[in-house]
C-alpha cells in the first residue's frame, strides 16, 4: 500500500460535479459481496466518476454490480451515496435476490442517476442462467427523450465460474437464455450486456453465444479476438492482488472475466451507441500481467503517476475484480426557431428571406458523446424553400434560409417544417407557423391631386429679418388598409447655400390619409441681397415592414433677399415702378410677403398708396 498517494486521488475527484455530465457513462464491477475495504471501494467509485482517460470526465450514469448479497446491498448503497459527486443522486434499480442466489455469491444490482434516467419497473425481468443464478434485465428511459429507442435495456449477469466442460456448458446455456430474451425485444432496440461472465477465452460457447447473429448480437468493444496472455493484459479484470486479504480471490491480473458489451443497435453510431475506443478496465495500464496491479508504478492515467498508483492500491483491497467503463452517445436533440422575430407585415413583391436556426441541443462533456443530427426543411402555404444537412452542436447553430411569397396583398399563411431522421432524436418534427400581412408600398406626393415627386417653391425676404419660411405639403397617395403608412424620415439640402436652409416641421411616421405640412426655413442672418437656391431631398419610407422601401421627393427652393430698403421689392436699391409691379404680383397675399409694406398683414390698396410715397 502507498497511503500518501491517496491525496492525489482525492484532489482529482473532489472537483467533479453534476454539471460535467452529458453523454452516458456505463460501469460494471463485481463487488465480491462487499468483502473488501469499504473506504477503498468508495475511493474507486469516486475515481470512476472522475476518470478522464478518454479525454473527459463525467459522473457514472449507470453501474451494475455482481455478487451483491442481500446483506451487502445496504453497504453498497451507502458507498454509492458517499462516492457520488455533488448534486448527483443514484437510485437502486429493481433488486431481486432469488432463492439460492446468496449461496451462489449474490445477486445482480444496478444503480442509475435519478436525474438522467427513469426505470420502467414493469419491464424488469429475472432470467435464470443456471447454477442457482439469475440475470437481471432492467429498462431505463433517458430523461428528456420520448422516442422508443431512447430506452435502453441493461442486462446484469454472473455466469457459472471455473473451468471444465460442465461449467462451460452452464455459461453457454445461461448466455443463450439472455440472448433469447434480448433478441425478443426486436430489431433496433439498444441493449447493454454487463457482468462477470467468467469466460476463459473467445472460443468458449458462452462468448460465441454472446456475439452470435441475431437482433441483439453483442459487439465486443475489444473485438472478437483472443484476450489471453501478457499481450492482452490491458483487457484483464481479475485479480488485482496476488495474495489478497479478507476472503478475496487472488492470483494476479491474468483473466478477462468481466464484460460491458453493447448490442449491434447500441454500437451502430446512431442514437444511444458505444463510443469507439472508450472501453477500459479501470486502473489497468496493461503492464501488470499475472502480478499485483499495484506492483511498482502504475501508469493508467498518463502523466499522473501518483493518481494511478493510489487507484491501483485501492483496487487491490476493494475487490478481487476491477471495474470497467464504457462510454455511450446520447441521441440528438433538435431545436429550430426563426433567427429573428417574424414581421407582421411585408411589402408586396419584395424578396422576404427568413432565416431558421437549427441546433443539436443535446448536452455533452465531449462532442463525441452526441449523435449527429440530420435535418430537412420543407415549406407549406406561402412559404418557399427547402434545405437539408447536419445541424451544428450547441452552442453553434446551423441556418436555413426560406422565403415568403409576397406576390399578392392580403394575409398569407404557411409553415416551415423542420424534421430529423436521426435515431431517437428528441424534437424530431418542429413546425414554425407564419402569418404575415402583405401590403402595397407607400406612395409620397407633393401635389394635392397629382402624383408628383418634385416641386418648386420661392419666397422673398429681407436681410437679418429672422427665419423666412415657405410651406409645402406631402401626402400618401391611395392609402387604405392594404397600403403601407408613410414615414417622413429626414431631409438633406444640397448646393452652396445648403447651410442656410432647414426643415422646421413635417418629419414623423405614420402618414395615412390627408396631408402633412412641410415647413422650410431660410436663415436671413448676415445674408446679402440676391438669390439663394437649394434642393431639399426629403427621405420617405414605408412603415416598419419586411422589405420596406425608401422613396425620395425633392423640393427646389429659391429665396430672393432684398436690399433692406422698404418697398425695394426688386432689390435694385431704389423704389420705383418696377417695385410696384412686383407688389401687384403679390396683391391679395396675406402670408407676410415683403410686398406688405405697410405691415397690415395683406397686400392691398394701402400698400400701393404707401409704395408711391416711398418712391426715390
> For position 99, what pLDDT does the model report?
60
pLDDT of 10 strictly over 80:
no
Mean pLDDT of 345-352: 95
Q: What is the number of other CB atoms lying within 10 angstroms of the CB of residue 562? A: 23
pLDDT attached to residue 9: 37
Average pLDDT of the chain, as a whole number: 93
Neighbouring residues of 356: CB distance < 8 A, sequence distance ≥ 6: 336, 337, 338, 339, 377, 387, 399, 400, 401, 402, 416, 418, 432
Residue 252 scores a pLDDT above 80:
yes
Predicted local distance difference test score (pLDDT) of residue 564: 67
pLDDT exceeds cutoff 60 at 198: yes
Give the SS3 label for residue 175.
helix
Q: Are strands 387-390 and 392-393 parallel, antiparallel or unpaired?
A: unpaired
pLDDT tier at 570, thresholds 50, 70, 90: confident
- Cα 530 from Cα 560, distance rounded (Å): 6
Query: How is domain 3-328 classified at the CATH fold level?
Result: Deoxyribonuclease I; Chain A (3.60.10)
CATH 3.30.465.10 fits domain 565-616: no
Tens digits of per-residue pLDDT, 372-420?
999 999 999 999 999 999 999 999 999 999 999 999 999 999 999 999 9
For 196, counting Cβ atoms within 10 Å of its Cβ (0-12 exposed, 13-18 middle, 19+ buried), the class is buried
Averaged pLDDT for residues 321-341: 98
For residue 38, pLDDT beyond 70: yes
- The C-alpha atoms of residue 300 and residue 377 are separated, in whole angstroms, by 47
Query: What do you get for the CA distance between the two ends of the chain, in Å?
Result: 126
**pLDDT 10s digits, 474-531:** 999 999 999 999 999 999 999 999 999 999 999 999 999 999 999 999 999 999 998 9
How buried is 140 (Cβ within 10 angstroms: 0-12 exposed, 13-18 middle, 19+ buried)? buried
Q: Which residues contact 36 (CB under 8 A, 6 or more apart)?
A: 246, 248, 317, 318, 319, 320
pLDDT tens for residues 540-551?
Answer: 999 999 999 999
Same topology between domain 334-439 and domain 441-562: yes
Q: How far apart are CA 596 and CA 602, in angstroms?
A: 6
Pairing of strands 550-561, 454-461: parallel
State the pTM of this model: 0.82
334-439 folds as Immunoglobulin-like (2.60.40)
What's the pLDDT band for 15 if we cut at 50, 70, 90? very low
Place of cell 482529482: 12
Decide which of 3.50.50.60, 2.60.40.10, 3.40.640.10, 3.30.70.100 is the CATH code for 441-562.
Answer: 2.60.40.10
User: E-strand spans in 385-528?
Assistant: 387-390, 392-393, 398-404, 410-419, 429-439, 444-445, 454-461, 467-476, 486-494, 501-505, 508-511, 515-523
Q: Return the SS3 of 7.
A: helix
pLDDT, one tens digit per residue, over 410-440 is 999 999 999 999 999 999 999 999 999 999 9
Q: Which of 310, 241, 291 is nearest to 2 (CA)?
A: 310
Q: What percent of the chain has pLDDT over 90?
A: 83
Helix (H) or strand (E) holding 561: strand 550-561
Return the SS3 of 324.
strand
- pLDDT > 50? residue 2: no
Please state the domain extents for the chain: 3-328, 334-439, 441-562, 565-616
> In this structure, what C-alpha cell is assigned to residue 279?
472501453
Count of Cβ atoms closer than 10 Å to residue 450 Cβ: 8
Q: Distance between CA atoms of 266 and 247, rounded to whole angstroms?
A: 37
Amino acid at each position: 500500500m502507498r497511503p500518501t498517494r491517496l491525496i492525489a486521488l482525492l484532489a482529482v475527484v473532489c472537483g467533479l460535479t453534476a454539471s460535467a455530465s452529458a453523454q452516458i457513462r456505463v460501469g460494471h464491477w463485481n463487488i465480491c459481496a462487499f468483502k473488501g475495504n469499504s473506504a477503498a471501494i468508495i475511493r474507486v467509485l469516486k475515481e470512476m466518476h472522475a476518470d478522464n482517460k478518454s479525454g473527459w470526465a463525467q459522473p457514472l450514469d449507470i453501474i451494475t454490480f455482481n455478487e451483491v448479497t442481500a446483506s451487502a446491498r445496504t453497504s453498497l448503497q451507502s458507498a454509492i451515496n458517499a462516492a457520488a459527486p455533488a448534486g448527483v443522486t443514484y437510485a437502486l434499480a429493481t433488486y431481486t435476490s432469488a432463492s439460492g442466489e446468496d449461496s451462489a455469491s449474490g445477486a445482480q444490482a444496478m444503480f442509475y442517476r435519478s436525474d438522467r434516467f427513469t426505470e420502467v419497473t414493469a419491464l424488469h425481468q429475472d432470467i435464470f442462467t443456471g447454477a442457482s443464478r439469475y440475470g437481471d434485465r432492467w429498462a431505463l428511459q433517458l430523461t428528456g427523450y420520448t422516442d422508443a429507442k431512447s430506452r435502453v435495456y441493461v442486462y446484469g449477469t454472473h455466469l457459472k465460474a471455473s473451468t471444465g466442460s460442465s461449467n462451460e456448458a452452464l455459461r453457454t446455456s445461461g448466455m443463450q437464455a439472455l440472448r433469447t430474451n434480448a433478441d425478443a425485444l426486436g430489431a433496433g432496440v439498444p441493449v447493454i450486456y454487463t457482468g462477470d461472465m467468467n469466460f476463459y477465452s473467445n472460443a468458449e460457447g458462452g462468448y460465441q453465444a454472446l456475439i452470435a447473429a441475431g437482433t441483439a448480437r453483442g459487439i465486443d468493444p475489444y473485438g472478437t479476438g483472443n484476450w489471453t496472455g501478457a499481450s492482452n493484459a490491458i483487457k484483464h479484470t481479475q485479480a488485482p492482488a496476488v495474495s489478497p486479504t479478507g476472503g478475496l480471490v487472488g492470483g494476479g491480473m491474468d483473466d478477462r472475466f468481466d464484460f460491458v458489451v453493447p448490442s449491434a443497435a447500441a454500437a451502430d453510431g446512431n442514437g444511444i451507441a458505444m463510443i469507439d475506443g472508450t472501453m477500459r478496465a479501470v486502473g489497468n495500464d496493461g503492464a501488470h500481467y499475472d502480478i499485483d496491479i499495484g506492483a511498482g508504478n502504475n501508469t493508467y492515467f498518463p502523466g499522473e503517476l501518483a493518481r494511478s498508483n493510489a487507484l491501483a492500491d485501492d483496487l487491490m483491497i476493494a475487490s478481487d475484480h476491477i471495474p470497467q467503463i464504457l462510454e455511450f452517445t446520447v441521441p440528438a436533440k433538435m431545436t429550430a426557431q426563426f433567427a429573428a422575430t417574424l414581421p407582421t407585415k411585408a411589402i408586396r413583391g419584395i424578396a422576404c428571406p427568413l432565416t431558421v436556426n437549427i441546433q443539436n441541443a443535446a448536452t455533452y462533456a465531449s462532442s463525441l458523446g452526441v449523435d449527429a443530427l440530420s435535418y430537412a426543411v420543407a415549406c407549406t402555404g406561402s412559404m418557399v424553400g427547402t434545405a437539408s444537412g447536419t445541424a451544428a452542436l450547441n452552442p453553434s447553430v446551423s441556418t436555413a434560409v426560406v422565403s415568403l411569397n409576397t406576390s399578392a396583398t392580403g394575409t398569407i399563411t404557411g409553415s416551415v417544417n423542420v424534421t430529423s431522421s436521426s435515431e431517437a432524436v428528441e424534437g424530431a418534427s418542429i413546425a414554425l407557423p407564419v402569418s404575415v400581412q402583405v401590403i402595397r408600398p407607400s406612395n409620397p406626393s407633393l401635389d394635392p391631386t397629382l402624383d408628383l415627386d418634385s416641386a418648386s417653391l420661392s419666397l422673398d425676404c429681407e436681410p437679418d429679418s429672422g427665419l423666412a419660411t415657405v410651406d409645402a405639403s406631402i401626402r400618401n397617395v391611395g392609402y387604405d388598409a392594404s397600403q403601407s403608412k408613410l414615414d417622413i424620415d429626414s431631409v438633406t439640402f444640397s448646393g452652396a447655400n445648403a447651410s442656410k436652409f432647414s426643415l422646421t416641421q413635417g418629419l414623423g411616421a405614420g402618414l395615412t390619409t390627408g396631408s402633412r405640412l412641410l415647413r422650410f426655413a431660410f436663415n436671413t442672418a448676415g445674408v446679402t441681397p440676391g438669390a439663394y437656391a437649394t434642393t431639399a431631398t426629403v427621405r420617405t419610407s414605408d412603415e416598419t415592414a419586411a422589405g420596406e422601401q425608401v422613396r425620395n421627393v425633392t423640393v427646389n427652393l429659391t429665396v430672393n433677399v432684398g436690399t433692406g430698403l422698404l418697398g425695394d421689392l426688386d432689390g435694385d436699391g431704389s423704389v420705383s415702378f418696377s417695385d410696384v409691379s412686383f407688389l401687384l404680383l403679390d396683391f391679395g397675399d396675406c402670408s407676410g410677403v415683403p410686398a406688405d409694406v405697410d405691415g397690415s398683414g395683406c397686400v392691398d390698396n394701402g400698400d400701393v398708396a404707401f409704395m408711391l410715397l416711398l418712391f426715390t
